[in-house]
Chain A
Amino acid sequence: MSYINKRDIKRVRLVASLLGIALVIALISYFALYELSRSTSFSLLETIYEIFSANGYPYVQSYSFLNLNDKGFGLFVIISVIDGLAKLIAISVGISILLDVIISIKTEDILKLNSYANLKDHVIICGYGKVGESLAFALEKLDKDFVIMDIDKAKARTAHILGYKSIIGDFKYERDLIRAGIKTAKTIIFSSEDAYKTLLGITVARKLNSKIKIAAVAAEEFSRSKLHRAGADLVVIAEELAALEMCNILINRIKYGH
């Protein structure tokens, strides 16, 4: 249960609150019925039976312990119906949330333990942010084998739901890179813009596989040379590339009239 996160704890609390509310409503109904049975010659169980059984309606009238014309009768039926609905809704919502929590725990178990060490010549994508997503989408279209690694459980789960091979892991740690199959991978791509973390990841990746091609995304120009020195074969700055693309369009239009 160490994989339960704050969101799951909130959901469990919500379920507990809903069940608590349902219990309170049920208790109120119980005491109302109890009071009703005390005012008649019937036991509590008989009263409950008479009120809620399919044949209760005509018996109620004939036993006349609770008269149709009684002012309280209509109100009591309304309260009983609301009570039943509240319990039904609370229990249904509670069950679905609990099931969701159980399933998400199970999925996280899988993603934490998954290993793709048997894959060969695949690509490892470290980070399932916008760049990671674009890479995964493109690699899938190109029919290339790849594994996604992200330290964020929600992102790893999203990739898993989309049908990608994915693991929850931190690329700074050898054991997680080994689970991603670094020793037999062809390429590793660090798509996080955190230069320090990427530097560590590159160092570990190079140590585990000296031949692997390493690409990284940098946020700033000054990170580029550092990442190259650490062992990256290719470093790109997303906004610089986009700016270059825009400038090519502008220059062609303005200078050359295209």
Chain B
Amino acid sequence: MENHVIICGYGKMGSYISDMLLSYNIKHIVIENDPNKEPVMKDKGLSYIIDDATKSTVLKKAEIDKASAIVIVTGDNAKNLFIIITARSISKDIYILSKATDSFTKEKFIEAGANYIVTPELSAADEILKELKLK
């Protein structure tokens, strides 16, 4: 694969992102640790690796050196941070997006090398305020 997107974590966010990328025909590969999610990914015809995305060997298997972006959306902040550090150490140019649970974590992720961070709870609050015209 080349110029593809790597998605680390096939939880709620990972599956949403994968579905949207599929609809735009954007090549991507999913790395997920939980083997119970394999049938779902297989059914959807996804490229995937069932392994721990914190390992550099796994990221290399996903061809991180040829990828255009990596999306890190596991449920664990510590894991996400680890993956950011590992990804950045392998590829200086890759665009790293990650999920964080709060603004303190967000800062740490940016310092570790992430390019863009989303905080789902903040996104929800922003959307509510915007739609209710409170903002």
Contacts and interface: CB of A to CB of B under 8 A. Distances in A.
Interface in B71-105: 71, 73, 95, 97, 99, 101-102
A242 B118 contact: yes
Query: B16, B118, B121 — which one has the most chain A CB atoms within 10 A of its CB?
Result: B121
What size tier do the contact residues of chain A reach? 35 or more
Contacts of A139: 129, 134
Contacts of B73: 243, 246
A254 interface: yes
B134 A187 contact: yes
B97 A250 contact: yes
A250 B26 contact: yes
A237 B123 CA distance: 9
B33 interface: no
Contacts of A138: 125-126, 129, 135
Contacts of B13: 239, 242-243, 246
Nearest to B26: A254
Interface residues of B, number: 36
B35 to A, nearest CB: 22
Contact of A134 (B5, B116, B122): B122
A61 to B, nearest CB: 63
Contacts of A251: 24, 26
Most buried by B among A123, A187, A189, A254: A254
Interface of B: 3, 5, 12-13, 16-17, 20-21, 24, 26, 68-69, 71, 73, 95, 97, 99, 101-102, 116, 118-129, 131-132, 134-135
Interface of A: 123, 129-131, 133-135, 138-139, 142, 144, 187, 189, 191, 213, 215, 217, 233-234, 236-247, 249-251, 253-255
30 contacts: A129-B121, A131-B125, A135-B128, A138-B126, A139-B129, A142-B135, A215-B128, A215-B131, A217-B128, A236-B124, A238-B120, A239-B16, A240-B16, A241-B124, A241-B127, A242-B13, A242-B120, A242-B123, A243-B17, A243-B20, A246-B116, A247-B16, A247-B20, A247-B21, A250-B21, A250-B69, A250-B97, A254-B26, A254-B68, A255-B26
